[in-house]
Chains A and B, each alone.
Chain A
Amino acid sequence: MRLTDLTLKELWHRKSQLLSGLLAITLGIGVIVGIRSISVVSEKAVAVNLDNLGANILVLPQAASVDNYYAADIDAPTFPEDYVEKIVTSTLPGVDNLSPKLTRRVKFGNESIVLTGILPKSEIASKPIWQQGGLKAEQIIASCAPSTVPKKYADAKLQRKGIDTLANNDCFIGYSVAQRLNLNEGSALTLENRTFNVTKVLPETGTIDDDRVFANLHKVQSLLGTGEQISAIEIMGCCNEITDGLLGKMRNILPDTRITTIGQIVSTQIKTNQLMNKLSLVFLIIILFVGGISIGNYIWANVNERRKEIGILRMIGYQKRHIYNILIMKAVIMGLAGGIAGYILGTIAAVWLGPQFAGIEVNPLYVLLPVSIAISILISVTGSVIPAYMAGKIEPFSNMQED
Chain B
Amino acid sequence: MLIQIKDLTKTYQRHNGTINAVDSLSVDINKGSFITITGPSGSGKTTLLLIIGGLLRPTSGRMIYDGNELNLDSDEEMAIFRSNHIGFVMQSFALVPYLTAVENIMIALNVKNKNKAENRNRAIELLKWVGLDDRTTHYPRELSAGQQQRVAIARALANNPDLLLADEPTGNLDPGLSGEILSILSKINKEQKTTVIMVTHSPVAAEYGNVKIHLQEGKLSDHKTMEKVFLS
Q: Do A and B come from one complex?
A: yes
- A contact set with B: CB distance below 8 Å: 1-3, 5-6, 9-10, 12-13, 308-309, 311-320, 322, 395-397, 399-403
A309 to B44, CA, bound (A): 24
B97 lies within 8 A of A13 (CB): yes
8 A-B pairs closest in CB distance: A317-B83, A13-B98, A1-B106, A397-B55, A317-B111, A319-B79, A316-B108, A403-B46
With an 8 A cutoff between CB atoms, is B47 at the interface?
yes
| Closest chain B CB from A125 CB (angstroms) | 67
Pick the contact of A316: B44, B83, B91, B103 (CB < 8 A): B83
Within 8 A of A (CB), among B102-118: 103, 106-112, 114, 116
A401 to B42, CA, bound (A): 11
A315 lies within 8 A of B88 (CB): yes
B92 lies within 8 A of A402 (CB): no
Asked whether A1 and B98 contact (CB < 8 A) given A315-B55, A400-B167, the answer is no
A196 to B226, CA, bound (A): 127
CB neighbours (8 Å) of A320 from chain B are 75-76, 79
Within 8 A of A (CB), among B28-54: 41-47, 50, 53
Asked whether A317 and B82 contact (CB < 8 A) given A1-B119, A6-B107, the answer is yes
Pick the contact of A401: B92, B99, B155 (CB < 8 A): B92
A403 lies within 8 A of B43 (CB): yes
Asked whether A319 and B167 contact (CB < 8 A) given A312-B94, A401-B46, the answer is no
6 contacts between A and B (CB under 8 A): A1-B109, A313-B107, A315-B53, A396-B55, A399-B90, A400-B92
A317 to B79, CA, bound (A): 5
Residue from B88, B97, B114 whose CB has the most chain A CB atoms within 10 Å: B88
Pick the contact of B41: A311, A318, A322, A403 (CB < 8 A): A403
A13 to B50, CA, bound (A): 30
Pick the contact of B116: A1, A317, A396 (CB < 8 A): A1
Asked whether A317 and B80 contact (CB < 8 A) given A13-B97, A312-B96, the answer is yes
CB neighbours (8 Å) of B44 from chain A are 403
B108 lies within 8 A of A317 (CB): yes
| Closest chain B CB from A393 CB (angstroms) | 9
CB neighbours (8 Å) of A1 from chain B are 99, 103, 106-107, 109-110, 116, 119
Pick the contact of A315: B46, B75, B80, B94 (CB < 8 A): B94
A12 to B139, CA, bound (A): 14
Residue of A nearest to B90 (CB): A400
Residue of A nearest to B46 (CB): A403
Pick the contact of B92: A2, A5, A399, A403 (CB < 8 A): A399
With an 8 A cutoff between CB atoms, is B64 at the interface?
no
Asked whether A402 and B108 contact (CB < 8 A) given A10-B98, A316-B88, the answer is no
A345 to B99, CA, bound (A): 33
A396 to B88, CA, bound (A): 12
With an 8 A cutoff between CB atoms, is B56 at the interface?
yes
Residue of B nearest to A314 (CB): B79
CB neighbours (8 Å) of A2 from chain B are 110, 114, 116
CB neighbours (8 Å) of B75 from chain A are 319-320
| Closest chain B CB from A399 CB (angstroms) | 5
| Closest chain B CB from A46 CB (angstroms) | 53
| Closest chain B CB from A398 CB (angstroms) | 9
B45 lies within 8 A of A316 (CB): no
A401 to B119, CA, bound (A): 30
A261 to B145, CA, bound (A): 83
Asked whether A399 and B94 contact (CB < 8 A) given A2-B116, A316-B107, the answer is yes
Asked whether A400 and B46 contact (CB < 8 A) given A1-B116, A315-B94, A316-B88, the answer is yes
Pick the contact of A9: B50, B88, B99, B167 (CB < 8 A): B99
A319 to B45, CA, bound (A): 26
CB neighbours (8 Å) of A9 from chain B are 98-99, 103
B111 lies within 8 A of A318 (CB): yes
| Closest chain B CB from A1 CB (angstroms) | 4
A402 to B199, CA, bound (A): 11
Residue of A nearest to B119 (CB): A1
| Closest chain A CB from B171 CB (angstroms) | 9
A316 lies within 8 A of B56 (CB): no
| Closest chain A CB from B174 CB (angstroms) | 19
B97 lies within 8 A of A400 (CB): no
A291 to B107, CA, bound (A): 32
Pick the contact of B155: A316, A319, A322 (CB < 8 A): A316
A319 lies within 8 A of B50 (CB): no
Residue from B42, B82, B97 whose CB has the most chain A CB atoms within 10 Å: B82
A192 to B44, CA, bound (A): 118
Residue of A nearest to B81 (CB): A317
CB neighbours (8 Å) of B91 from chain A are 401
Given A13-B97, A316-B107, A318-B111, 14 more pairs with CB closer than 8 A: A314-B55, A315-B88, A316-B88, A317-B111, A317-B159, A318-B83, A319-B76, A320-B75, A399-B90, A399-B94, A400-B90, A401-B91, A402-B46, A403-B42
Residue from A3, A5, A403 whose CB has the most chain B CB atoms within 10 Å: A403
Residue of B nearest to A403 (CB): B46
A308 to B45, CA, bound (A): 21
CB neighbours (8 Å) of A10 from chain B are 98
